[in-house]
């Protein structure tokens, strides 16, 4: 490969080309370098030497003007700099490397591309497996020894994907196992961590693609795509959190969820009528179990026809939504993309008339089978279809529905009327989305479907924050929906898998992700369900969901002691809501996940980097659940810092200095929690359901560090516009004295609060000024704070 010619275009793009290949460099935002690689560009119809414009389903649609670039030519080397990063290109070989230092990090090599190449299209037999070149474009990036590779979307296995072969092809996979790949969500983005420093690599290609993560060649990360190009982004660090912030700026931030979506949810494939749901809600209320939403599966539809209601089971949907609302419960219905092929069915007739459907390679409407049989599929990759689907949401908004569950949107297809070559239960490779093949559009399909959902609620219910959950997705899905890990199973292994899966999605730029509590398939047990609820105390959202034909798994189904254990776990979840809601707000602003693997904040710690059986809820609250049958304790890893045992947020125990492994005794009713010194958590009292994110009673739990502590609280109406207030609780420690104050931002008017403050790590107190009352017992100082307090000082004898 030789790339002899180059030109700078508008000062913001550099295009380099040779006889057949084109490379284009730009900097879309500071700290991110884009390198669009088009091998065999002329033969592949991409335009030569000027490439045709490319549509991205991942990037935020309103990115700022790109950064300006400077170019230096030194023989065969071309040096292109912009946005704090520099690309050095060897024009003889095509190899290139990116260097840079951001946010105080050292100048260093971020990515070194060893080779990139591609094939021109060839004539292949029309109906053979060989007619699709799934390795049409290839990229090899150096994989330094010891580097960890985090992210890559929804995956099983450990957080570090080094040594794995990954496929990007959204797949309806049930059941999945500990080695199943691929799954439902494809995000070709990884955070590379070495020696505590991080950078990101994102390949923005929706085509079917694979990543060999130093498996075949232990020193190379190799991508192979069925598409004609590879669109590569290199993101600077220096910390994993910095990489995630840049990825969120590039692909868009997740919207702030409504408060009710963070409360407890109950779901089951098998709730068939409004009476079934009434019984579920009554079961929760009679037992004083918190509940904020119920999800309804496909049985509410008329013969599985989307955008219809089975009037026998739900004679008045709007009235039932109002009835549930009186109990503090929201209704979240399912919607699938498959449309029943039925003459006279208005959704089908409109889609057919307006040519909104996916077609076969021969131009016929593609017909398959999902829950409706036969079924056809909307082509969401076209804006006019997105607008049409958005308009259909009026059925829900007119009924007062505020949340939606987009399922089967890989898209799933059980069988085809005219079998063609495909991979898994989906549409054939050569199905057409306009002029583009399904091989290219498959991974993107769920994004515009969820975009349509968000647009529908914005049009008809602009005063709310809609809650949209999607089973499938591609990079950028976080702008439109949250996700869950799909159809898991009621097994201990799937409980344990949930943490690296949710954590991996968070490290892939999707800050709101969760797993079905109790397991979807198979029969759960009382112990498994109880331990799963404890594990899920810090899931970004908490939904109990199961399949028809399995045992009922509402919290009370297994009797005592399990009902009481689950009740305590749910109350703990609701006590944590001020902290969870604050983390949700931070996620919407920064891209950092709610549930955080230890690797996010302890990247230089090799043990923390590969620990995935516990997690951080924010920066300093460690959650270490028991996830094995019959176990009544576990080993917990505590990274550097001082950690106080605060089991169940009620039992204040030993203080440990990390890094260290400690043993946590955890009978069935106990969830091991540890609070890091320097942290303060906002808590509240449990309730039957959420109301507003303006808590009249707040208890701060603080662990005093060497310099004091800091806590953060975000409050607003819990729905609607983000018109809230952020409060920082600051405790400054110096020479036997602690000064405590608040700093607030935001003009929102909030109710007068009753605040208490519990401080761990203090010596016996000599004097307290500014508090309404205080007590000191067993190393914990408890302060009752007066209304509109400004400053509290505590002194002690050191």
Q: Which residues are catalytic?
A: 407, 410, 487
What is the bridge-based pairing of β-strands 77-82 and 70-74?
antiparallel
Contacts of 700 (CB under 8 A, 6+ apart): 680, 681, 682, 683, 711, 729, 755, 756, 757, 758
Judge contact between 731 and 708, C-beta under 8 A: yes
**Other Cβ atoms closer than 10 A to 373:** 15
Orientation angle between helical segments 383-391 and 446-460, nearest 10 degrees = 50
Residue 376 CB contacts under 8 Å (≥ 6 apart), including other chains: 338, 339, 341, 348, 351, 352, 357, 358, 365, 366, 367, 368
What strands lie across the sheet with 595-596, from one edge to the other? Answer: 595-596, 615-617, 621-623, 673-676, 633-647, 651-665
Q: What is the DSSP string of 59-79?
A: S-TT--PPPP-EEEEETTEEE
DSSP letter assigned to residue 552? P
CB 565 within 8 A of CB 660: no
Report the alpha-carbon distance of residue 766 to residue 738 in Å, rounded: 12
Other Cβ atoms closer than 10 A to 303: 11
Q: What is the DSSP letter of 264?
A: E
Q: How far apart are CA 200 and CA 588, in angstroms?
A: 20
CB neighbours of residue 635 within 10 Å: 11
Are 346 and 395 in contact by the 8 Å Cβ rule? The answer is: no
Supply φ then ψ for residue 670, to 5 degrees.
-115, 130
DSSP helix, strand, coil percent of the chain (3-state; round to 5): 20, 35, 45
Q: How far apart are CA 172 and CA 221, in angstroms?
A: 26
């Amino acid at each position: 490969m030789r790339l002899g010619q180059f030109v700078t275009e508008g000062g913001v793009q550099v295009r380099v080309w040779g006889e057949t290949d084109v490379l284009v460099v730009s900097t879309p935002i500071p700290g991110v370098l884009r390198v669009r690689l088009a091998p065999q560009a002329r033969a592949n119809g991409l335009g030569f030497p000027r490439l045709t414009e490319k549509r991205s389903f991942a990037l935020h649609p309103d990115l700022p003007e790109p950064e300006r670039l400077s170019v230096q030519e030194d023989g065969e080397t071309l040096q292109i700099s912009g946005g704090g990063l520099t690309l050095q290109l060897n024009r003889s070989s095509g190899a290139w490397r990116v260097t840079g230092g951001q946010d105080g990090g050292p100048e260093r090599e971020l990515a070194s591309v060893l080779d990139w190449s591609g094939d021109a299209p060839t004539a292949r037999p029309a109906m053979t497996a060989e007619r699709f070149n799934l390795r049409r474009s290839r990229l090899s990036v150096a994989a330094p020894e010891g580097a960890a590779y985090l992210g890559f979307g929804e995956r099983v296995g450990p957080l570090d994907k080094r040594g794995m072969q990954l496929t990007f092809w959204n797949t309806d996979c049930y059941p999945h196992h500990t080695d199943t790949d691929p799954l439902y969500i494809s995000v070709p983005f990884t955070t590379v961590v070495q020696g505590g420093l991080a950078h990101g690599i994102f390949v923005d290609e929706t085509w079917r693609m694979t990543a060999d993560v130093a498996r075949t060649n232990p020193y190379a990360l190799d991508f192979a795509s069925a598409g004609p190009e590879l669109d590569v982004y290199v993101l600077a660090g220096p910390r994993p959190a910095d990489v995630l912030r840049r990825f969120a700026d590039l692909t868009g931030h997740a919207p702030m969820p409504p408060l009710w979506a963070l409360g407890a949810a109950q779901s089951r494939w098998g709730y068939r009528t409004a009476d079934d749901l009434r019984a579920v809600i009554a079961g929760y209320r009679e037992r004083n179990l918190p509940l904020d939403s119920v999800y309804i599966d496909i049985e509410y539809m008329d013969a599985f026809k989307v955008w219809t209601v089975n009037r026998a089971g739900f004679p008045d949907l709007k009235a039932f939504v109002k009835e549930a609302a009186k109990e503090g419960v929201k209704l979240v219905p399912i919607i699938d993309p498959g449309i029943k092929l039925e003459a006279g069915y208005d959704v089908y007739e409109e889609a057919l008339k307006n040519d909104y459907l996916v077609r076969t390679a021969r131009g016929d409407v593609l017909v398959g089978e999902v829950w409706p049989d036969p079924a056809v599929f909307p082509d969401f990759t076209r804006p006019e279809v997105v607008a049409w689907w958005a308009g259909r949401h009026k059925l829900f908004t007119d009924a007062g529905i505020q949340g939606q569950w987009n399922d089967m949107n890989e898209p799933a297809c059980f069988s085809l009327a005219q079998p063609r070559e495909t991979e898994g239960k989906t549409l054939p490779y050569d199905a057409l989305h306009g002029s583009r093949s399904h091989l290219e559009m498959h991974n993107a399909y769920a994004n515009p479907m969820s975009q349509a959902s968000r647009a529908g609620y914005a049009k008809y219910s602009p005063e709310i924050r809609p809650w949209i959950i999607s089973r499938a997705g591609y990079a950028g899905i976080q702008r439109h929906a949250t996700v869950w890990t799909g159809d898991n199973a009621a097994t201990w292994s799937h409980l344990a898998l949930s943490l690296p899966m949710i954590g991996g999605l968070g490290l892939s730029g999707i800050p709101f992700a969760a797993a079905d509590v109790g397991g979807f398939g198979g029969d759960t047990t009382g112990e498994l369900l109880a331990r799963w609820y404890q594990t899920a105390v810090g899931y970004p959202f908490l939904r109990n969901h199961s399949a028809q034909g399995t045992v009922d798994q509402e919290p009370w189904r297994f009797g005592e002691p399990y009902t009481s254990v689950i009740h305590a776990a749910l109350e703990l979840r609701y006590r944590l809501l001020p902290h969870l809601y604050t983390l949700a707000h931070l996620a919407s602003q920064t891209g950092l996940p709610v549930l955080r693997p230890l690797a996010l904040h302890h990247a230089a710690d090799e043990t923390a980097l590969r620990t995935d059986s516990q997690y951080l809820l924010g920066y300093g609250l460690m959650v270490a659940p028991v996830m094995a049958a019959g176990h009544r304790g576990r080993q917990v890893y505590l990274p550097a810092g001082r950690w106080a045992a605060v089991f169940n947020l009620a039992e204040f125990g030993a203080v440990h200095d990390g890094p260290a492994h400690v043993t946590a005794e955890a009978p069935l009713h106990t969830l091991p929690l540890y609070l890091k010194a320097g942290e303060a958590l906002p808590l509240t009292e449990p309730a039957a359901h959420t109301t507003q994110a303006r808590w009249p009673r707040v208890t701060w739990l603080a662990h005093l560090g060497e310099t004091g502590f800091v806590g953060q609280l975000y409050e607003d109406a819990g729905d609607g516009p983000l018109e809230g207030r952020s409060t920082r609780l600051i405790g400054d420690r110096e020479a036997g004295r602690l000064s405590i104050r608040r700093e607030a931002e935001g003009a929102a008017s909030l109710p007068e609060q009753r605040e208490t403050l519990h401080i761990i790590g203090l010596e016996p107190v000599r004097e307290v000024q500014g508090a309404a009352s205080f007590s000191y017992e067993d190393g914990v100082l408890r302060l009752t704070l007066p209304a509109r307090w400004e400053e509290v000082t505590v002194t002690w004898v050191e």
